Structure 1
Amino acid sequence: MKFKYIYFLPAFVMALTSCNDDDTYIGGSIMGGETAISTIYPTPPSQWMGGEEPYFSAGYTGDPMPFYEDGAFHIYFLHDAINKPAGKGFHDIHEYSTTNLAHFDYKGQMVPYGGQDEPDFGIGTGSVIKAGGTYYFYYTGHNDIAAFRANNPRESVLLATSTDRVHWTKQTSFKITAPAGYYDYDFRDPHVFQNPDDGKYWMLVSTQTDPARKAVLLKFTSDNPASGNWTPAGSFYTTAPEDNYLMMECADIFKMGNYWYLTFSENWSNDKGTHYRMATSINGPWIKPANDKLDGEYFYAAKTASDGNKRYAFGWTARKAPENDTGGKEWAGNLVVHEIIQNADGTLGLKAPDAVSQLFMQSSAIALQNTSGNVTQANNTFSLNAAAAEAVATFKPVGKKMKTSAQITLNNTSGSAGFFFNVSSSAYYKIVFEPQQNRIAAYNSNGDGVTHIPFNIQAGTAYNITVIADGSICVVYVDGKTVLSNRIYGRDQQAWGLIATDGAAATFSGLEIKKP
């Protein structure tokens, strides 16, 4: 994770309801306690501890750390508060739980941040394992206060334990710091798992070599977490020269079929997002697929968990500041979950969780508002031809929660074609197929590229598109294996449509809208 200090925000922020102003929280959001969250892309509720403390205001979801047990996913995450007074710590660990990935319960704070003289004044990403009857939560301690850093490393690996997964006790005598040759300023995001091949427990830590500053995942091993003994075992994976990543954050490792997969997130290069590598052995060699990203850069810090049948990726889609489509990307946002699928060649794809897709069962009328350029309609099929000028079909707003599906066929490889949101005289957000670049890309009304994902586009081929939106989160799935997550403010209140530009000719067939 990337740490960000926010010591003071202007008073007007108190009036904001953040990116989930269209969501309703049911239950104990005012007085504390469990809270049922109505959105499929949750953020934590406001006043989660009650009272008047400004810190207990609404917040955002950062760096999910999923753990599956007894029929439920327990999704621990870093709570990023909207308001935080000076001198307070940050990013304490909170929890959502869900049995179906479409409805979530907020469980509150699990691990609090520490004081200004403690290593976890700020908390960073970690992971949970169970050994015997004890749960071990390894997490990052972060303290960049000068007085603390005078005698301590900025970052370290810390531990909290529990016997019921509800009450966690910090083990203050436990601390792992960067060994010689590695950078203790960036030493974070422990991922712990039991290696089925040797029975040992492995820990991967994101850090850099020192002094060369090469991003590396460092490996530690232990025979038994109860002993508290973790032995450094050297570099597990180092950034390749052609990648040259600054840090490989929030690493995860898992096996599907005959392949092992290593995932990590990178936020400083020109290819930001959650990446993956694959190998037939846990010890490598690790192969970089032609498309090594699980989603665009608005799906970050993804870690995975399996229910024993399917595996899912849990990440967050960033909010923006200011909160409009031309705002800058900020740390933390809404939880977004995708199901991981394995292609025949071993590469990975993503699709919507079945329970999320099945939420949308009620057909809704498609209300055509107007057209411009060369647009023809036959029932729910729309053909757009931008040979002479941009072609647009505009529809009335569809509300907070919706699923839109269609088949798109590009009849040539010119220009771009796709979906158009927030259609007005002053703003738009478009998500389009770009055959000449072989990608799906999103742009704001300044024409700035927001996010993109590689996708091989062939003229004359029909691609199945599903767009699932809840509030300002809008996720595009293509052929059940490619995904692009987006943040689109005000989408539910503005017109939307189909668009073709710069000579593109495209047909959208079987266009339909479904509501919950």
Structure 2
Amino acid sequence: MKEFFYRPENAWVGDVIPYYEDGEFKLFYLHGWRSNYREGLEHGWHLLGTKDFVNYREDGACQIEGGTGHILKVDDIYHMFYCIFPEGKQFACHAISKDLRTWEPIPEDTFGPDGEIYELADWRDPFVFWNEEEGQYWMLIAALAKGSTNRKGCTGLLSSKDLKHWEYREPLYAPNLHVGAHECPDLFRMGDWWYLIYSSYTGRFGTFYRMSQSLNGPWITPQEEAFDGRAYYAAKSVSDGQKRYLFGWNPTKDDDLFGWNPPKASGKDYDTWDWGGNMIVHEIIQRPDGTLGVNVPKTVDSAFTEQLPTNFEGIAGDWSITDDVLLCESPYAFAGCITQEELPDQCKISTTVRFSGSTQGLGFMLRAGESLDFAYYITLEPQRSRITFRGPIMQSEEGGKTFPYDVELERPFKLLPEHEYELKVFIDGTICEIYVGGDVAMSARMYDIQHGKLALFVSQGAAEFKQVNIEMLGA
């Protein structure tokens, strides 16, 4: 079965460098090869074309061997800024093209950190834009600022009038939060706000954003700073003039790097998150207060049109089941119902949920068995204001002994009783993409259970599930 969420044959999508022109998204990305499931060192730039994030045209390699960067067009010339890593050092590089396909590197434009404002270490992922206020170009770069502790990760800043000669300036954003550099910086304006995006692999792992009403700051940290959870990284954005989209990757799990996967766990659910995986596109949503959320792009959502039967039967608790609504009141216990049909390997599941004020949990069980325990749980937890994802081992005594944490993945979300919330889940083999309320996303992977049914549950409360649909890709 061909995967719906894009990855190249026998390889993986690394960091995406999106560009939009003439009605098409030109998606440059780091083409990641792997040997014996280890991260490959050949990160060549490859190019995809798409208009809908469903159908892709592969344009192949771009003659550039290097790391993440940025594309901009000045007059009739395309400028690519990227990074290289010779002998353990890091440098920013420059290449030009007239057609986005044939690139001419400019070796004399290669440069590294200055050693005064910035440490002689991290120096990668350049992002370049025209600063209208200053009348010159700004480059943001993943760097380490000089400092008294190891928390030196920053978004470095340089300026230029000609895209060749760059002046080192104080960092745009250096909060002393992260030990590692602020990877894959991205910047855009939406309405009255500027937004700075970066990814970090130290402390909290993910893609984050900051907001400011001026390029000079201050850069405000919103109450929820991440676009997604642990299974989404290195995301960068681009606008088509109407909407803005975020391009990241859902990582695979092909290695047990630290030996933390329990020896008796023969599967891969608890292996180490890898570098690279499948490309995931979120639509960026701006809320009235200026904060950002994400939702599934409409073209992805509407690609699933072939509706499958969903015949539910109660397994635990007292369920009222009609064609349109499943309702259960179970104030003191767990209750669940399950479909008679198996879940397809590739599908979209959707519903609208509502719950009572005392409800402790409700949601989906994916690839569930009749006993309603061996499954992947997507749980809305109103009392804790979060959405969680748990794999099957967490339901066992052995899993409880092995793992010292409560859940595998979680996203904060204020859940109010007697309100309706839209829940959409996209399954693509091992990939699981979850969207709640139209502006919160959580990515996950599901390896060890490959077959099963859809089940609904409510724990210690009352819940209503309206219009539960399972849909496959249209012809």
Q: Would you call these one fold, judging by a TM-score over 0.5? A: yes
The aligned runs of 1:59-138 (5 Å cut-off) are 59-83=11-35, 89-113=41-65, 123-138=66-81
> Could you tell me how far 1:194 is from its partner in structure 2?
1.4
**Is residue 404 from structure 1 mapped to residue 349 from structure 2 by the alignment?**
yes
Q: Is the 8 A contact 1:40 1:101 kept in 2?
A: no
Select 1:435's aligned residue among 382, 403, 408: 382
Q: Is the 8 A contact 2:157 2:171 kept in 1?
A: yes
Alignment match, 2:361: 416
Alignment match, 1:234: 170
Q: Aligned letter for 1:321? A: D
> Could you tell me how far 1:465 is from its partner in structure 2?
1.3
CA distance in 2, matches of 1:245, 1:373: 49
Q: Aligned letter for 2:224? A: N
Select 2:335's aligned residue among 391, 401, 404: 391
The aligned runs of 1:239-258 (5 Å cut-off) are 239=175, 243-244=177-178, 246-258=180-192
Alignment match, 1:515: 472
Alignment match, 1:36: none
Change (3 A) 1:211 1:346: closer
Most deviating of 160-169 and 386-395: 386-395
Q: Structure 1, residues 252-297: CA drift from partner, whole Å, max 9, x if none?
A: 000011111111111221x321111111112211111111111112
Change (3 A) 1:233 1:419: same
Alignment match, 2:153: 215
Alignment match, 1:177: 112
Most deviating of 367-376 and 448-457: 367-376
The aligned runs of 1:38-437 (5 Å cut-off) are 39-45=3-9, 58-83=10-35, 89-113=41-65, 123-143=66-86, 148-149=87-88, 154-181=89-116, 182-210=118-146, 212=148, 213=150, 214-225=152-163, 228-239=164-175, 243-244=177-178, 246-269=180-203, 271-321=204-254, 324-368=268-312, 371-395=315-339, 396-424=341-369, 427-437=374-384
> Could you tell me how far 1:160 is from its partner in structure 2?
2.4
Q: Aligned letter for 2:419? A: T
> Could you tell me how far 1:209 is from its partner in structure 2?
2.0
Change (3 A) 1:370 1:245: farther
> Could you tell me how far 1:60 is from its partner in structure 2?
0.8
Change (3 A) 1:326 1:421: farther
Q: Is the 8 A contact 1:421 1:491 kept in 2?
A: no
Q: How many residue pairs align between the two structures?
A: 445
Q: Is the 8 A contact 1:189 1:206 kept in 2?
A: yes
Change (3 A) 1:131 1:420: same
CA distance in 2, matches of 1:296, 1:435: 18
Q: Aligned letter for 1:455? A: F
What residue ranges of structure 1 are gaps of 5+ in the alignment? Answer: 1-21, 24-38, 46-57, 114-122
Q: Aligned letter for 1:437? A: R
> Could you tell me how far 1:188 is from its partner in structure 2?
1.3
TM-score of the superposed pair, with normalisation by structure 2: 0.87
Q: Is the 8 A contact 1:40 1:356 kept in 2?
A: no
TM-score of the superposed pair, with normalisation by structure 1: 0.81
SS state of the match for residue 107, structure 2? coil
Report percent identity of matched pairs: 30
CA distance in 1, matches of 2:332, 2:420: 24
Which structure: greater strand fraction?
2
Q: Is the 8 A contact 1:431 1:443 kept in 2?
A: yes
What residue ranges of structure 2 are gaps of 5+ in the alignment? Answer: 256-266, 395-405
> Could you tell me how far 1:244 is from its partner in structure 2?
4.2
Alignment match, 1:506: 463
CA distance in 2, matches of 1:237, 1:40: 37
